[in-house]
Structure 1
Amino acid sequence: MYSDFALRLMAELLWTGIQVCFPILALTMAVGLMVSVFQVVTQIQEMSLTFVPKLLTAGLGLIFFGPWMLQKITAFATKLWLGIPGMF
């Protein structure tokens, strides 16, 4: 296996990971920010108030983005497995 091939494979792995994680992380970060602003405005300091909306948002995001995420991961894994004979 050549080093340029390994570097390209690792870069593609990292890029696929970023693409798959980004929608859920962005949604939960936005909801967390909105809940934090709500807590500051109302002066409510309850820890479960931040946890539950983020958990629900992550679940809904997985339901909505799950098929796309699975397709991205499956495409990468298929490309990786089909490329194994050419590695050596």
Structure 2
Amino acid sequence: MNGPEVLDIGREGFFVLIKMLTPVMVVGLGVGLIVALFQALTQIQEMTLVFVPKILAIFITLMLVLPFMGQALATYMNQIMALVIQGQG
């Protein structure tokens, strides 16, 4: 296995990681912005107010996208194992 093949495997790994983390990060960002806007409008400056809604939203998102995340990771692992079986790894 030469350098470009290793870089292709690494690049694919990063794409799988980004695909898996994007929904969770977007929901966390969205909930954080909504709570921050609510705090700014009501002038409630409680620092812990952000954590509970964000944790709940991220937990619900993880439960919804966990099958997708598992499928993406399993597909990547099958590709890696196919390369190992072929003797290229």
Q: Separation in 2 of the partners of 1:13 and 1:28?
A: 23
In the TM superposition, what whole-angstrom CA distance separates every residue of 1:3-24 from its partner, at most 9, and x where no partner exists?
A: 1100100110001100000000
What is the aligned partner in structure 2 of residue 37 from structure 1?
A: 37
What is the aligned partner in structure 1 of residue 28 from structure 2?
A: 28
Within-5 A mapping of 1:1-88: 1-85=1-85, 86-87=87-88
In structure 2, the residue corresponding to 1:44 is in which secondary structure? coil
In the TM superposition, what whole-angstrom CA distance separates every residue of 1:26-69 from its partner, at most 9, and x where no partner exists?
A: 01100100000000111111122100111001100011111011
**% identical aligned pairs:** 32
Q: Separation in 1 of the partners of 2:78 and 2:48?
A: 41
Q: Separation in 1 of the partners of 2:37 and 2:77?
A: 41
Q: Which runs of 5+ in 2 are unaligned?
A: none
Displacement after TM superposition at 1:76 (Å): 0.5
CA RMSD of aligned residues (A): 1.0
Q: Separation in 1 of the partners of 2:54 and 2:83?
A: 39
Q: Separation in 2 of the partners of 1:87 and 1:55?
A: 42
Q: Separation in 2 of the partners of 1:87 and 1:42?
A: 60
Aligned residues: 88
